[in-house]
Amino acid sequence: MAAAHLLSKLWEDLSWRGLIAGSTRPEDLQAHLAQAPRVAYVGFDPTADSLHIGSLLPLLVLRRLQRFGHRPIVLIGGGTGLIGDPSGKTGERPLSPEERVSAWADRLRAQVRTFIDFDHAILVDNYDWLSKLQLVPFLRDVGKHFPLGAMIAKEAVRSRMGRSDEGISYTEFSYQVLQAYDFMALHERHECTLQLGGTDQWGNITAGIELIRRVKGATVHGITLPLVTKADGMKFGKTETGTIWLDSAKTSPYEMFQFWLNSADEDVGTYLRYFTFLDRDGIQALEAMTREHPEQREAQRVLARDVTTLVHGAPAAIEAELISRSLFSGDLEGLSELQLDQACRAMPTTAMARDEVGKLPIVDLLVRTGLAASKREARDLVNAGSISMNGRRAGSEPLVSPGDVRFGRFIVLRKGKKSYHAITLE
């Protein structure tokens, strides 16, 4: 009874969190998930050597399904990654060499293990079956179930045919057939009855559902997850320094922590629902605190701590919070070289030649970094006490001195309370 009760709570939890953007036959799907443990999958094509935080939402939804008694499948698209998904793209993707896609697929297989308990889940690569297909049998047995009119009507195809000078190649046009075949392969091998993906995957998901209905006479389901947006209109997962990756070598834990800490008040409640496992009472309490005491930014701090822990582990999250607090207070003396390196990677950066130390005026450095528009403005900022170097207020000393360089390679400039800039010595 306890297990059945847990299964029935999944839909309620996903709905409350706003994680269901769309689905096939909601009442039937809700009943399907409540009746017995089900198998559900999400696919990730290896288009880079790391997933990014846009990939985090579907991974965490799979983790939620697992917590509610269902079995996840993570599919790495070693085969479809060689083709390229046209969804959300205005032009043809460049095709990557097979060896590179294979190496990227290996990296993604290792990366997803952080988020899913694979003692009770399945990890597959569609290259294992797509690479063995023979063209003529595939066209006879599978291709005949795809009416051309329906394929052209898919948004990913229609938008490219109508608005792009290049149109769409047969290679990318065939992507929906391969993804549909993936769903059928997982249905046959693992009794998978649910596919999840972003809203841009709706056409590919429904193609798989229809293929299974036509070939197997079975009913399967699909859920699309919401497009994550930011209140200011900036693309989610992007910062001044680039994409927020899940690989710590590409995006440090401090950069990850800082990304979530900088969430707008109007976004933080949504992000807590999407990206943490806090319960309803905990999230609503943090939302109330944000309304009453927004200056404390407690909800953002909890969000940053929880997500950084999920991605990089508790020790890395604790260190990231230490770096954040040190920068906020201006006390950088306690940071190690590696911690300061993490901090600098998250800031706009300017290179400086070593032989300029002891010769370059501070006002010139402020202009070079863009912290001041002119030497006059730079002098005014220094005189007003608005500039600090490595946490110490810049004084009347006109030149950048050796004592201003931390660990022989870093200078951290701060203008006011929030504008940071890193100087790295070449």
Confidence at 396, pLDDT banded by 50, 70, 90: low
Question: Residues 6 or more apart from 260 whose CB is under 8 A from it?
Answer: 271, 275, 300, 303, 304, 307, 308
My answer on whether 299 and 361 are in the same domain is: no
Q: What is the chain's mean pLDDT, rounded?
A: 90
How many Cα atoms within 13 Å fall on the side-chain side of residue 300? 21
pTM summary value? 0.88
My answer on whether 75 and 128 are in the same domain is: yes
Confidence at 397, pLDDT banded by 50, 70, 90: low
* pLDDT tens, position by position, 40-77: 999 999 999 999 999 999 999 999 999 999 999 999 99
pLDDT of residue 398: 75
Q: Closest Cα to residue 127, out of 94, 86, 187, 81?
A: 81
Q: Which range in 139-148, 158-167, 204-213 is most confidently predicted, on average pLDDT?
A: 204-213
pLDDT of residue 326: 87
Out of 301, 326, 346, a domain closes at 346
My answer on whether 240 and 307 are in the same domain is: yes
My answer on whether 86 and 208 are in the same domain is: yes
* pLDDT tens, position by position, 268-295: 999 999 999 999 999 999 999 999 999 9
Confidence check: pLDDT of 1 > 90: no
Confidence check: pLDDT of 150 > 70: yes
* pLDDT tens, position by position, 12-34: 999 999 999 999 999 999 999 99
Confidence at 93, pLDDT banded by 50, 70, 90: confident
My answer on whether 120 and 144 are in the same domain is: yes
In the three-class reduction of DSSP (H, G, I as helix; E, B as strand; rest coil), residue 245 is classed as strand
Confidence check: pLDDT of 241 > 80: no
Residue 177: count of CB within 10 angstroms of its CB: 21
Q: At what angle do helices 280-292 and 298-312 cross, to 10 degrees?
A: 140
My answer on whether 369 and 334 are in the same domain is: no
My answer on whether 19 and 163 are in the same domain is: yes
Task: Dihedral sign for Cα 7, 12, 16, 21, please.
Answer: positive
Higher pLDDT, 236 or 258: 258
pLDDT of residue 294: 94
Question: Residues 6 or more apart from 62 whose CB is under 8 A from it?
Answer: 40, 42, 72, 74, 115, 116, 121, 196
Out of 301, 328, 346, a domain closes at 346
What percentage of the chain reaches a pLDDT higher than 70? Answer: 94
Q: Closest Cα to residue 305, out of 240, 259, 347?
A: 259
Q: What is the mean pLDDT of residues 154-165?
A: 71
My answer on whether 83 and 147 are in the same domain is: yes
pLDDT of residue 243: 87
Q: What is the CATH number of the domain that holds 256?
A: 1.10.240.10
Rounded CA-CA distance 69/13 in Å is 13
Out of 203, 225, 247, a domain closes at 225
Question: Residues 6 or more apart from 12 whose CB is under 8 A from it?
Answer: none
Higher pLDDT, 170 or 107: 107
Token representation of residue 365: 């450095």
3-state helix vs strand vs coil in the chain, percent to 5: 50, 15, 35
Higher pLDDT, 338 or 149: 338
Q: What is the mean pLDDT of residues 76-94?
A: 82
In the chain, the number of structural domains is 3
What is the chain's length? 426
How far is Cα of residue 104 from the mean position of the Cα atoms in its chain?
A: 16
Buried b (16+ CB within 10 A) or exposed e, 85-113: bbbebeebbeebeeeebbebbebbbebbe
pLDDT of residue 58: 97
pLDDT of residue 419: 86
Rounded CA-CA distance 11/23 in Å is 11
For residues 400 and 358, is the Cβ–Cβ distance under 8 A? yes
Question: Residues 6 or more apart from 28 whose CB is under 8 A from it?
Answer: 219, 221
Look up the domain containing 352 and give its range.
347-426
DSSP H or E stretch at residue 302: helix 298-312
What percentage of the chain reaches a pLDDT higher than 90? Answer: 61
Confidence at 389, pLDDT banded by 50, 70, 90: confident
Confidence check: pLDDT of 231 > 80: no
My answer on whether 71 and 117 are in the same domain is: yes
My answer on whether 122 and 235 are in the same domain is: no
Q: What is the CATH number of the domain that holds 201?
A: 3.40.50.620
pLDDT of residue 212: 97
C-alpha distances in Å from residue 265, one per residue of 231, 275, 283, 415: 9, 16, 13, 24
How many Cα atoms within 13 Å fall on the side-chain side of residue 153? 7
For residues 305 and 316, is the Cβ–Cβ distance under 8 A? no
My answer on whether 321 and 252 are in the same domain is: yes
Token representation of residue 210: 């229809």
My answer on whether 8 and 25 are in the same domain is: yes
Confidence at 355, pLDDT banded by 50, 70, 90: confident
For the CA atoms of 116, 121, 127, 132, the dihedral, rounded to the nearest 10 degrees, stands at 180
* pLDDT tens, position by position, 167-215: 788 888 889 999 999 999 999 999 999 999 999 899 999 999 999 999 9
